[in-house]
């Protein structure tokens, strides 16, 4: 059973939605957020990254940042304006990026089910990031970041979603990254039917937004600790997409130095270890391969096969690359903490890998074949944890279109 709950969304008036909607808070740095919002007073980054309205030397975790976020939300509510629905609703959220289209159901999902493992995870979270968003939720009084869920596709849900999109959308905006966002409200009997259909799903899976979900659960604990009402915090806001529509891009790697190797000696060492390394394209043709940018050339590496019977999370190309190449040959330690390793999300493209290497900011880059949604679900079902920075979901939801007051 998966609980889906309609809610009274706080959302921008349609004429200003494109001005309010912003990139997710966690895909930009403070400097990038400041630049994006510089000429847009209604940008929702002023709520999610409110340090941009404070002096440049103020830490993003300074207590003043959370006070500023709460003030900015109230200001935005008045000046945009943002409106709160009188009646609870669900929403259908369609994303278009080029030829790719995916449509999800937006609503509230159960914190209890998250804590019980019925909403399944595949990533570890960092306490400092949880601390930040937990405090943000509590002090702002709202969940401003939307969790991205997936589920085993259901023909019944597909039919209800198609019916719900028959009319004109409430929102239809194209973001600066050229992703189109269309949203339809669903109320009454149609919303009830979606709620019933979701109850037939045995589980939901967090695709993107592990820290948002964890912080929502912790915010409820904090509110209870301080004797504040928790009813609004019993659920977290999310959009759930069917697994056959979700798109995962590769999450690539760069290493800042060659750990004493020259490009030639690294190639020799890999070949001596029995790996097939040949000139090849910048993007692997299939799983089990990695493309390596070294010097000014691309090479294809046939990755060693994982041991027979290895857990599924250890069979992923990102983990094989770490265990069989990055660690033994480039001396990269824990990928979560090693400062010599950096990650390049697939949307940034192969050109970014090449730029980092050719400008000397990295010594070598690795392009990977994307992880499949099937792998993600299998690992989550087994209670496993994927390696850090394994998946880059695209297109992404925008912040500020749908907000849940707690």
pLDDT of residue 163: 97
pLDDT of residue 165: 97
Residues 211 and 267 in one domain: no
Residues 240 and 346 in one domain: no
pLDDT digits 0-9 by tens, 279-319: 999 999 999 999 999 999 999 999 999 888 888 889 999 99
The pair of three-digit structure tokens given for residue 334, joined into one six-digit string: 């824990």
Helix H, strand E, coil C: the string for 286-320 is: CCCEEEEEECCEEEEEECCCCCCCCCHHHCCHHHH
- How many domains are there within the chain? 2
Residues 70 and 118 in one domain: yes
Note down the domain range covering 192: 4-247+394-405
pLDDT digits 0-9 by tens, 147-204: 999 999 999 999 999 999 999 999 999 999 999 999 999 999 999 999 999 999 999 9
The pair of three-digit structure tokens given for residue 309, joined into one six-digit string: 């019977």
pLDDT digits 0-9 by tens, 29-74: 999 999 999 999 999 999 999 999 999 999 999 999 999 999 999 9
Average per-residue pLDDT for the chain: 95
Residues above pLDDT 90, as percent of the chain: 92
Residues above pLDDT 70, as percent of the chain: 100
Residues 207 and 111 in one domain: yes
Residues 283 and 208 in one domain: no
Residues 135 and 225 in one domain: yes
The answer to whether residue 56 sits within a structural domain is: yes
Residues 187 and 322 in one domain: no
Please give the average per-residue pLDDT across 220-249, as a whole number. Answer: 94
Strands 204-208 and 142-143, by their bridges, are unpaired
pLDDT of residue 312: 87
Distant-in-sequence, close-in-space partners of 107: CB < 8 Å, separation ≥ 6: 4, 5, 6, 7, 90, 91, 194, 237, 238
Residues 290 and 141 in one domain: no
Residues composing the chain = 406
pLDDT of residue 336: 87
CATH number of the domain enclosing 261: 3.30.1760
Residues 398 and 317 in one domain: no
Residues 42 and 58 in one domain: yes
The Cα–Cα gap between 321 and 314 comes to 10
The answer to whether residue 381 sits within a structural domain is: no
Q: What is the DSSP letter of 285?
A: S
Strands 142-143 and 82-84, by their bridges, are unpaired
The Cα–Cα gap between 115 and 93 comes to 26
């Amino acid at each position: 059973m998966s609980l889906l709950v309609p809610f009274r969304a706080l959302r921008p008036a349609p004429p200003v939605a494109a001005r309010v909607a912003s990139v997710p808070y966690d895909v930009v740095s403070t400097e990038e957020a400041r630049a994006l919002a510089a000429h847009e007073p209604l940008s929702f980054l002023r709520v999610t990254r409110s340090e941009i309205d404070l002096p440049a030397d103020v830490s993003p975790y300074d207590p003043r940042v959370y006070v500023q976020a709460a003030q900015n939300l109230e200001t935005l509510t008045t000046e945009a304006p943002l409106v709160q629905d009188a009646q609870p609703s669900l929403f259908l959220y369609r994303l278009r990026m080029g030829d790719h289209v995916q449509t999800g159901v937006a609503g509230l999902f159960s914190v209890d089910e998250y804590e019980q493992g019925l909403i399944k995870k595949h990533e570890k979270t960092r306490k400092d990031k949880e601390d930040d968003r937990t405090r943000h939720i509590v002090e702002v009084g709202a969940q401003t970041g939307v969790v991205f869920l997936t589920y085993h596709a259901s023909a019944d849900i597909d039919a209800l979603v198609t019916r719900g999109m028959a009319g004109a959308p409430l929102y239809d905006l194209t973001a600066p990254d050229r992703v189109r966002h269309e949203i339809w409200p669903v109320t009454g009997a149609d919303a009830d039917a979606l709620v019933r259909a979701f109850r037939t799903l045995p589980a939901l899976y967090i695709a993107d937004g592990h820290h948002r979900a964890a912080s929502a659960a912790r915010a409820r604990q904090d509110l209870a600790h301080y004797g504040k009402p928790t009813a609004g915090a019993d659920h977290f806001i999310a959009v759930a997409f069917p697994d056959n529509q979700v798109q995962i891009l590769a999450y690539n790697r760069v290493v800042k130095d060659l750990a004493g190797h020259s490009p030639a000696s690294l190639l020799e060492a890999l070949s001596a270890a029995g790996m097939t390394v040949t000139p090849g394209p910048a993007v692997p043709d299939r799983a089990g391969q990695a493309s390596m940018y070294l010097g000014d050339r691309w090479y294809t590496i046939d990755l060693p096969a994982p041991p027979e019977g290895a857990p599924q999370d250890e069979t992923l190309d990102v983990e094989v690359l770490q265990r069989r190449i990055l660690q033994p040959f480039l001396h990269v330690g824990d990928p979560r903490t090693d400062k010599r390793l950096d990650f390049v999300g697939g949307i940034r493209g192969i050109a970014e890998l090449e730029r980092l290497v050719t400008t000397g900011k990295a010594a070598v880059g690795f392009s990977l074949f994307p992880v499949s949604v099937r792998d993600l679900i299998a690992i989550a079902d087994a209670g496993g944890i994927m390696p850090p920075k394994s998946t880059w979901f695209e297109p992404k939801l925008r912040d500020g279109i749908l907000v849940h007051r707690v």
